[in-house]
């Protein structure tokens, strides 16, 4: 890669409360879970940390609550080397939290309470305008108000800054606003929410991407878990196979993909290579538990990339 790319994430920061269990209590019932982990999460923060681990310079634009989790989140950014000068503590609000349940197949179910993330407004984006204007890439998700997401996309387009939108958690969106993003990267369920058609396999992902492009989106990458990723643009679609592993916990793998993809693309890789690298980086994150704490260091990625047969 060339000089470290400069990435700004406008998005969420949560604290993840992860319980490992195969059974769920019925109303009024108490049962035992297997194990518990407390860690830093939030799709925005996770993507920022993944990009940083892959070598980017990263700044976060976010809001946290005036509670223990808020201060700890800011300390975590500092420890991870992510610039948090535009992370604001919001009085009278809780930080974002995410109770997460992971089963023995490594699959997760996540409940997000947005808390202070919901207070991130266009004025916060304006206040970080100097940072955004220096960015090689701005990365967004949907755990902050949609108004702020759309505003940031318009701001970036006005200044010619490349943007990546991860439309997660999935919901129906104003596609005319989304069309301001250079890349839209949903997983299967998010692609379904965006397009209104089911996405259960590669063929449906292809059809969905074609439909989204016809609606005005510029480039679409549908991430397909164990099936890799489908990348589509005006020139057609291309499938990039996954890096095959036995997952322990898939939580945050999508964020590992987005953050690392942003870093590799903005760092000078061509799109196909950036996707192939991000597939490997995301797969490695599923080999241990947690979200940010499962994101590997650059050296570990480089070793796996060299041994992958693609690197
Ligand atoms: O994508 C995983 C993330 O979703 C978790 O870290 C959780 O906080 C939610 O935002």
Q: What is the pLDDT of residues 287-310, one digit of tens each?
A: 998 899 999 999 999 999 999 977
Q: What is the pLDDT at residue 289?
A: 87
- Token code pair at residue 282: 């995301």
Q: Is the pLDDT of residue 2 over 90?
A: no
21 domain residue, yes or no: no
310 domain residue, yes or no: no
pTM over 0.85: yes
**Residues of the domain holding 92:** 6-13+43-96+122-304
Mean of pLDDT values over 133-153: 98
Mean of pLDDT values over 156-181: 97
Q: Indicate which CATH number applies to the domain containing 267.
A: 3.40.1190.20
Q: Which residues line ligand 1 (CB under 6 A)?
A: 14, 16, 41-43, 46, 98, 110, 112, 143, 251-252, 254-255, 291
State percent of the chain over pLDDT 90: 92
Q: Is the pLDDT of residue 43 over 90?
A: yes
24 domain residue, yes or no: no
Catalytic residue among 83, 249, 255, 270, which?
Answer: 255
- Token code pair at residue 170: 């999935």
Average of per-residue pLDDT values in the chain: 96
Q: Is the pLDDT of residue 311 over 70?
A: no
Q: Is the pLDDT of residue 106 over 90?
A: no
Mean of pLDDT values over 194-215: 97
Mean of pLDDT values over 33-45: 95
Looking at ligand 1, which residue's alpha carbon is closest to its atom 6?
41
Looking at ligand 1, which residue's alpha carbon is closest to its atom 9?
42
Active site residue 255: yes
Residues 6+ apart with CB under 8 A from 307: none
Q: Give the count of domains, the chain.
A: 1
Ligand 1 centre distance from Cα of residue 38 (Å): 12
What 3-state class would DSSP assign to 59? strand
The ligand 1 atom at the shortest distance from the C-alpha of residue 12 is: 10
Q: Ligand 1 test: best mutation among 9, 12, 13, 14, most atoms within 8 Å of CB?
A: 14
CB 92 within 8 A of CB 119: no
């Amino acid at each position: 890669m060339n000089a470290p790319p400069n990435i700004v994430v406008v998005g969420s920061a949560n604290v993840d409360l992860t319980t490992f269990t195969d059974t769920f209590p019925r109303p009024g019932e108490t049962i035992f879970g297997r194990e518990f982990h407390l860690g830093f999460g939030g799709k925005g923060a996770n993507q920022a940390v993944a990009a940083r681990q892959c070598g980017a310079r990263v700044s976060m634009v976010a809001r946290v609550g005036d509670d223990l989790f808020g201060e700890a989140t800011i300390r975590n950014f500092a420890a991870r080397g992510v610039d948090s000068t535009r992370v604001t503590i919001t009085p009278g609000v809780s930080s974002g939290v995410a109770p997460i349940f992971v089963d023995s197949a490594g699959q997760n179910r996540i409940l997000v309470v947005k808390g202070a993330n919901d207070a991130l407004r266009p004025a916060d984006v304006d206040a970080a305008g100097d940072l955004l204007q220096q960015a090689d890439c701005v990365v967004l998700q949907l755990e902050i108000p949609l108004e702020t997401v759309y505003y940031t996309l318009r701001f970036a387009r006005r200044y010619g800054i490349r943007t990546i939108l991860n439309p997660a958690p999935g919901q129906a969106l104003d596609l005319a606003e989304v069309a301001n993003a250079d890349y839209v990267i949903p997983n299967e369920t998010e692609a379904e929410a965006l397009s209104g058609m089911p996405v259960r396999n590669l063929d449906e992902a292809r059809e969905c991407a074609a439909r989204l492009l016809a609606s005005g989106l510029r480039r679409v990458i549908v991430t397909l878990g164990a099936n890799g990723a489908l990348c589509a643009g005006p020139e057609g679609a291309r499938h990039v196979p996954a890096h095959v592993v036995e997952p322990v916990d898939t939580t945050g793998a999508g964020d590992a993909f987005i953050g690392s993809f942003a870093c590799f693309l903005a760092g000078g890789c061509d799109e196909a290579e950036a996707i192939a690298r991000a597939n490997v980086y995301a797969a490695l994150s599923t080999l241990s538990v947690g979200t940010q704490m499962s994101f590997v260091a650059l050296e570990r990625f480089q070793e796996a990339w060299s041994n992958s047969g693609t690197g």
